[in-house]
Structure 1
Amino acid sequence: MAEREFDIVLFGATGFVGKLTAEYLREAAPAGARIALAGRSPQKLAAVRDELGPAAAEWQLVQANSNDQASLDALAARTKVVVTTVGPYLRYGLPLVQACAENGTHYADLTGEPLFVRDCIDRFGDKAAETGAKIVNSCGYDSIPSDLSVYELYKRSVADNAGELTDTTLVAALKGGASGGTIDSGRAMMEAIAADPKKASIMSHPYSLSPDKTMDPDVGRQTDQALERAENIDPSLRGWVATFVMAAHNTKIVRRTNGLLGWPYGKNFRYREVMSAGSSPAAPLVAAGISGGIVATMAAGAVLSRVGFGRKLLDRVVPKPGTGPDEKARRSGWFTMRTFAHTTSGAKYLCTFAAQGDPGYQATSVLLGQSGLALAFDKLPEIAGILTPASAMGDALTDRLRKADMTIEVTTV
């Protein structure tokens, strides 16, 4: 690693989120960091570098294509870390994971696709563990706030000798829009399930990303659907909560972290995520609309993804990948994730994870950028393989994000 040409290669630097991540790395990377931009078009890469100004003038450009395994192998062999924004990962991501696993190169992505993570585990987990590669999935708004919040709650319960975690619920509140890339990732998974219906179980089973199926806790039914009063979660909350669209992925990442760390959260750890629908008189209707709309949208998408004319219709009506809001809208966004945890001793804790900036764009560029920097420059746990943010970077990433003006704090309830 020490002899490699680059510290970080940003793959997909000409895309919308790729450009935002490049801008963030320009500001946050330490002096002397060896960064390169990678993608299909040298001309477009050069244009991005020019837009970044003098601070990035020495960054090198690397031509690589998701469909060209040799180019990805060469890219991975030249750098300590690859940070990639090229999705949907289910369509385009596996060759790059293969290259990083075989070359012992650390890797971070933005996937919210359980099918992709499962494929990474099954195809390249053993090789990555053998070569020492840390392949870290879901290093954006999905799923760092979820993963690090529970990890911080666990550490606090240990420090207080408060017992193991039991019922734990994340309540998400945010201002921001769904990106075209996120929607396209959903379509990719629907199309994969249409081609192989057996894969539907990966989406529905709470422990489908578990590292050891024989160790899965038996805690009864855990559902990602929600429609209830917020005070059922904690008396301090008001209003209603609804289904959180990313819960189905985030909860699996959190449970995978628990497994990768040896199940320290506890044998009775139950985890779910919901979304705040507010406390106005209309909140019950809003919550019902959100929850019902998510189910209906997913059902319609699954049906349309099965046939050619349905896919063409979706092409016309959904936002295109690589598009996003303007700077003013990105900066006006925000998110606050409040995770309430109970322990076997009766203690109750709250972890608040909050940041300014549109979750899927502005905040995600910080989360992904700092993940890349942590993998490149920080002393991290020895664990290797197909990992999660908390299992791979834990305290180092938490410290970095706090210094990047994100709030991550645990209090007693």
Structure 2
Amino acid sequence: MTEPTPARDLDIVLFGATGFVGRLVADYLARSAPADTRIGLAGRSLAKLESVRSTLGPAAEDWPLIVADSTDPDSIAGLVARAAVVATTVGPYAKYGRTLVDACADSGTHYVDLTGESLFARESIDANHERAVATGAKIVHSCGFDSIPSDLGVHVLHGAVTADGAGDLTDTTLVVTDLRGGVSGGTIDSLRTQVEVSVKDAGLRRLAASPYTLSPDRTAEPDLGRQSDVSVVKGADIAPGIRGWKAPFVMASYNTRVVRRSNALTGWFYGRDFRYREVMNVGSSVLSLPVAAAVAAGTGALVAGLAFRPTRALLDRILPKPGEGPSEKTRRTGRFTMDLYTTTSTGARYTARVKAQGDPGYQATAVMLGESALGLALGGAELPDTAGVLTPATAFGDVLVDRLRDAGVEFSARRL
């Protein structure tokens, strides 16, 4: 970890602290960070920052407040200069994120965010990877429900296989076994932004459709044939004993690319024949096939609707708006369970589980982003010796797995 210079008086600055998710992350840090952690809150409005801080209790009463605007490079530079780590919830990142992430890469400031926007992540890789390597910055996108359960789930699965000397990972599937929670307005806005960009540029559409959108070198990736993120999959083709048909998981088109980047950044540590997909459970009855097909069609229809101006205007009126979120009860009673299955190059079968309580896109995401920021600020020499535009698995490894376990998130793996 790059040591803070004397000018960096804060371990963590949370940018976007007055937004819906930002407030949840601020609350988590106030409750969970060690007492001597130096934390600041940043946003556009001093009055709103003061209001948020007033709700966080005695632990946060002396936290500095920093007024900064994503469209004002000078204010962003001032924010970054004070921080060892910046955590940002300000999206869509394609609209509001580049100035901040560029500044962090330039100054050697570590960075974590919640993006699920593949084209923004690609832009950041191209613009910032080499600069961040030179400055020692860890730029870590996607440190929430996008894409920590997927990326660290595969990391833990691979660790169990490696410990047994059972070969490389080959066909690997994540199944969303249980999911309860709402869709955030920020997630919808990110999807809307990416669809708008892709509609205007055929080259960007092709890039977004590639299974290796985020690869460090797409020409070096193995040719594994068609890898679709919108397939309906028969349970028995995933692992023996899995019943019914599985629908595409709505976040698969992003999560799969993050996991593949992790494999490539480590020199294909999981294996050159590693194939990865994500699906979700829709039951195991005879109706699971038509239900799975309907989910696949509905996902495609949502994307198509956002791409077509008249239907986009209608959807904009009914979909959640940025800054909106569910009630405290809904956030508290939400949950998710993800089960991963793999067959190794020696023919062994393994499974892993990632499970947490709390609405995935809000409560659980606040825990994940908060622990990611704390991991960078406090992890020190225990963190992998890497820098650049990284993934959660390559930036944190077991450091974040252990932190999240301590925070109540299950990560487990076993041989079948």
TM range (shorter): over 0.9
Aligned twin of 2:93: 89
Choose which of 8, 19, 31 in structure 1 pairs with 2:23: 19
CA distance in 2, matches of 1:332, 1:278: 21
Query: In the TM superposition, what whole-angstrom CA distance separates every residue of 1:294-323 from its partner, at most 9, and x where no partner exists?
Result: 01111121122xxxx665444323211010
SS at match of 2:55: helix
Residue 195 of structure 1 and its aligned partner are, at CA, apart by 2.6
- Please name the residue that 1:49 is paired with: 53
Q: Secondary structure at the match of 1:234?
A: coil
Instruction: Give, in angstroms, the shift of residue 227 of structure 1.
Output: 1.7
* 2:349 corresponding residue in structure 1: 348
CA shift, 1:149, in A, is 1.0
Write out per-residue CA displacement over residues 152-205 of structure 1, whole angstroms, 9 at most, x where no aligned residue. Answer: 122222211111110000001311121110000000001111232210112210
Task: Indicate if the aligned counterparts of 2:173 and 2:279 stay in contact, CA closer than 8 A.
Answer: yes
Deviation at 1:231, TM superposition (A): 2.4
Q: Which moved more, 1:376-385 or 1:230-239?
A: 230-239
Choose from 62, 66, 70 the match for 2:70.
66
* Alpha-carbon distance in 2 for matches of 1:265, 1:229: 24
Q: Which moved more, 1:231-240 or 1:71-80?
A: 231-240
Q: 2:404 aligns with which of 389, 398, 401?
A: 401
Size of the alignment, in residue pairs? 409
Give the corresponding residue for 2:367.
Answer: 366
Distance 2:311 2:410 in 1: 43
- Tell me how large the CA RMSD over aligned residues is: 1.2
Partner of 2:284: 279
Alignment of 1:2-401 (within 5 A): 2-3=5-6, 4-172=8-176, 173-304=178-309, 312-379=313-380, 380-401=383-404
Quote the Cα distance in structure 2 between the aligned partners of 1:266 and 1:316.
45
Question: Secondary structure of the residue that 1:76 maps to in structure 2?
Answer: helix
SS in 2 for 1:410: strand
* Contact 1:114 1:202 survives alignment (8 Å): no
Task: Structure 1: state its 5+ residue gaps.
Answer: none
CA distance in 2, matches of 1:267, 1:281: 36
* Alignment partners' CA distance in 2, 1:49 and 1:5: 19
- Are the counterparts in 2 of residues 336 and 355 from structure 1 also a CA contact under 8 Å? yes
Q: 2:246 touches 2:279 (CA, 8 Å); kept in 1?
A: yes
The whole-number CA distance in structure 1 between the counterparts of 2:47 and 2:219 is 51
Write the deviation string for residues 30-67 of structure 1: whole angstroms up to 9, x where unpaired. Answer: 11110000000000000000011211101110000010
CA distance in 2, matches of 1:331, 1:213: 41
Please state whether the residue corresponding to 1:52 is helix, strand or coil. coil
Give the stretch that moved more between structures: 276-285 or 77-86: 276-285
Aligned-partner Cα distance in 2 for 1:68–1:312: 30
Give 1:281 deviation, angstroms. 4.8
Q: How much does 1:261 deviate?
A: 1.0
**1:319-339 deviation line (CA, Å, top 9, x unaligned):** 110101101111111101101
Q: Deviations over 1:239-279 (max 9, x none)?
A: 22101110000000000011111111111111111011122
Q: How does the TM-score come out when normalised to structure 2?
A: 0.96
CA offsets, 1:356-384, max 9 Å, x none? 11100010000000000001000311211
Q: Is the 2:30–2:57 Cα contact (8 Å) retained in structure 1?
A: no
Residue identity opposite 1:144 in structure 2: I
